[in-house]
Every structure is written in structure tokens, then in C-alpha cells.
């Protein structure tokens, strides 16, 4: 299940914020998470000129994760949960992923740019299979080793590692390895989710 397995604990950690956020519409949080991702992508682009941004990006990515969790919690808490909100959330999540990875792709942190493109494709396919279950009558799939939270935390870790590397040498980049991991783990996640969907369909059809 990856990092998704600790989501209940993370949600409970954030729950006290719901009292403050009650007057806010959940869609505002969804859009805010998207704009945070845009800022992250822009910050990545300027990494070579301002390496210290590598230490700010993890904070912003944590904020994105918090906003992504809070929008759904707030929608339920205020009885504003609706299919339109789910559509907006899924769509902006995908654009957010693209913004972040594109930021890395054009930041000169990658030696092989093709890896960034393949990583985006792998991430989008994993996300697609996540919602595929609902399309065929089962449930939203969160299984696999590379969900959204997993990706964000891996990027946060690599930002810190890259900053440490920059202290010693400014011509060594490690994000190629992260993109390779995203490609591989993304496809493992696709396979995991598809197999789970097929299993649930067999159970449903046999019922």
C-alpha cells in the first residue's frame, strides 16, 4: 500500500485544522494545492541559480499533501462532498503531478531529459489505473508502491540529498535515478492495481 497506509494517522494529525477551515469551501483547498504545485515547478526551474530552493520545495510539497488531505476531510465535515469535487480533485492532481515533474525536467537537474518524460507517463498511467476501478464498477485503487504521497516524499528526500551533494560538487545530479525509480515503480503500481481490479471484478461477478 506504500505510504498511503499511514494516511489515517496523517488525517488525524490534520483534523484540528478543520475547525479553522470550516468557513472555507473544499474546492479552495483543492485549487490551493494545485497552485502550490505550480510554485514547486517554478522553483525547480530556478534551482541552478538558487540551490537553497531545494530546502524550500519539501516544505511546499508537504503543504500540498496536507491540502490534498484536508479538502476531502473538509468536504465530508461540512457536507459539501459531491461528484464534481471529486472530478476537480482528480484532474488538478494530475496537472499538479505534471507541473512538479516538468519543473524537474526543465531545471537542469536531469542529465537525461527522456527519463523525465517517461516518468510523467508512468505516473499518469498509475493514476489512471487508480480511478479505473470506479469506471468498471469496483472501487478507487490506492494500492502499489508509488502513490501520490509516495512520489511527493521521494521528491522531498531527493531535494535534500541533492542540496547536500551541491555542497560538495555542483555538477553532480541524482534526479536521474529518481526518475528511473518513478518509471519502474509506476509500472509496478499499474500492475498491482490492475490485478486488484480484476480480482474484485471476479469476486463481484461470482457473487
- Domain with residue 162: its CATH number is 1.20.120.1760
CB atoms within 10 A of CB 77: 16
pLDDT digits (tens, 9 = 90+) for 155-186: 999 999 999 998 888 778 899 999 999 999 99
What's the N-to-C CA distance of the chain in angstroms?
26
Tell me how far apart the alpha carbons of residues 102 and 121 are, in angstroms, rounded to a whole number: 12
Reported pTM: 0.91
Cell numbers describing residue 30: 483543492
Tell me how far apart the alpha carbons of residues 170 and 163 are, in angstroms, rounded to a whole number: 9
How does DSSP assign 86-120, residue by residue? HHHHHHHHHHHHHHHHHHHHTTT--S-HHHHHHHH
CA angle 122, 90, 1 (to 5 degrees): 60
Work out how many domains the chain is built from and give that number: 1
CA distances to 2, 4, 97, 145, 181 from 185, in Å: 11, 15, 15, 6, 6
pLDDT digits (tens, 9 = 90+) for 27-76: 999 999 999 999 999 999 999 889 999 999 999 999 999 999 999 889 98
Q: Band of the pLDDT at 134, cuts 50, 70, 90?
A: confident
User: In b/e form, how buried is each residue of 99-132, taking b as 16+ CB within 10 angstroms?
Assistant: bbbbbbbebebbeeeebbbbbbebbeebbebbeb
Parent domain of 95: 2-206
Q: Band of the pLDDT at 4, cuts 50, 70, 90?
A: low
Amino acid at each position: 500500500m506504500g505510504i498511503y497506509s499511514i494516511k489515517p494517522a496523517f488525517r488525524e494529525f490534520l483534523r484540528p485544522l478543520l475547525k479553522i477551515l470550516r468557513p472555507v469551501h473544499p474546492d479552495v483547498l483543492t485549487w490551493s494545492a494545485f497552485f502550490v504545485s505550480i510554485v514547486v515547478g517554478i522553483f525547480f526551474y530556478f534551482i541552478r541559480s538558487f540551490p537553497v530552493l531545494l530546502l524550500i520545495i519539501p516544505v511546499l510539497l508537504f503543504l500540498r499533501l496536507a491540502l490534498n488531505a484536508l479538502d476531502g476531510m473538509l468536504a465530508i465535515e461540512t457536507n459539501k462532498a459531491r461528484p464534481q469535487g471529486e472530478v476537480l480533485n482528480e484532474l488538478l492532481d494530475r496537472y499538479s503531478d505534471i507541473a512538479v515533474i516538468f519543473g524537474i525536467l526543465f531545471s537542469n537537474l536531469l542529465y537525461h531529459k527522456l527519463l523525465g518524460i517517461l516518468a510523467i507517463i508512468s505516473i499518469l498511467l498509475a493514476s489512471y489505473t487508480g480511478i479505473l476501478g470506479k469506471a468498471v464498477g469496483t472501487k478507487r485503487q490506492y494500492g502499489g508502491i508509488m502513490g501520490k504521497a509516495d512520489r511527493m516524499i521521494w521528491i522531498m528526500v531527493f531535494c535534500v540529498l541533492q542540496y547536500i551533494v551541491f555542497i560538495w560538487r555542483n555538477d553532480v545530479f541524482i534526479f536521474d535515478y529518481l526518475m528511473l525509480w518513478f518509471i519502474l515503480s509506476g509500472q509496478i503500481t499499474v500492475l498491482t492495481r490492475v490485478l486488484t481490479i480484476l480480482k474484485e471484478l471476479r469476486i463481484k461477478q461470482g457473487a
